[in-house]
Structure 1
Amino acid sequence: MASQLPAVPRFVFTVFEPISLLAGFFPAVFSPDWFITEQIASLTANTPTVSLTENSRVVARQLGNCYGLAFLVAIAVLYSTTEIKVVRNYLVALWIADIGHLAITYLALGHEKAMAIGEWNPMTWGNVGVTLFLCLTRTAYLLGLFGPGRPVATPARKMQ
């Protein structure tokens, strides 16, 4: 199916997004302390230190596992199906999840930190910037703004 998507969404959904999912997987699983601490960018030196527990480390690693699962599902769906309806439904589900992710991150950051774009750390750019980019790309694709994809090549039928 990936070969049937228009060029921009094909690159974004089949290359950029899987790489970004792995970028979330590895630190969450292998460096959970850093992953947890970086979730909300500290804007001042007076921000209290995050208290890390084994519970929070398990949750971070479980989230990392979800990133890994999302990576595998993306590869499985986009590289195996020839049904455009399956791809569209997959992208609609991700679009809804993008909106939820952005809302949850906004609520955690608060309005002031969410609007202080110049103060964002790499984690915030991933949580907000990358997710917003993916959501907008999905929106444009679903609205048909990238144009039609390539038709599915069907094998010629043998005449009897």
Structure 2
Amino acid sequence: MQIADNTVVQLHYTLKDEQGQVLESNEGRSPLAYLHGHNNMMPGVEQALAGKAEGDRFSVTLAPAETYGERQEGMIQRIPVKHLEGAKRWQPGMVAVVQTDKGHRQVTVVKVGKFMAEVDFNHPLAGLTLTFELGVASVRAATEEEIAHGHAHGEGGHHH
């Protein structure tokens, strides 16, 4: 079966920066699952996977606009340190999670004081050209429930 809209795709990936440094990988672990055609994957990655089948392995290099977007000016804000989640002590360059009105967001600590921190709300990988090494572990037709919910269920997907 080929990857198309309303298919559930399980995949392994390795994400590298422009220098070839591995930033993230799930190789050797459970595959990631997503529902194709429902905006659950970065546009460039989803487009590259379209038409592929179980067992396919390939690499694709994508510009920022196709992944995490360009870096935007004016995204640095001061927030109370107590709102930073993920560590007890913070230093510049560390990635934290904060709760916003749009859900949890990753931020990068720019400057930290005793009570307040300056954080960058740009995604930590925004502005980078990224290479994805992808391996399709499986492809199956989505269930009616998955289509109605807009995401994959089961291993590597969403659990209700």
Superposition TM-score, scaled by structure 2 size: 0.27
- Structure with bigger helix share is 1
**Larger C-alpha radius of gyration, 1 or 2?**
1
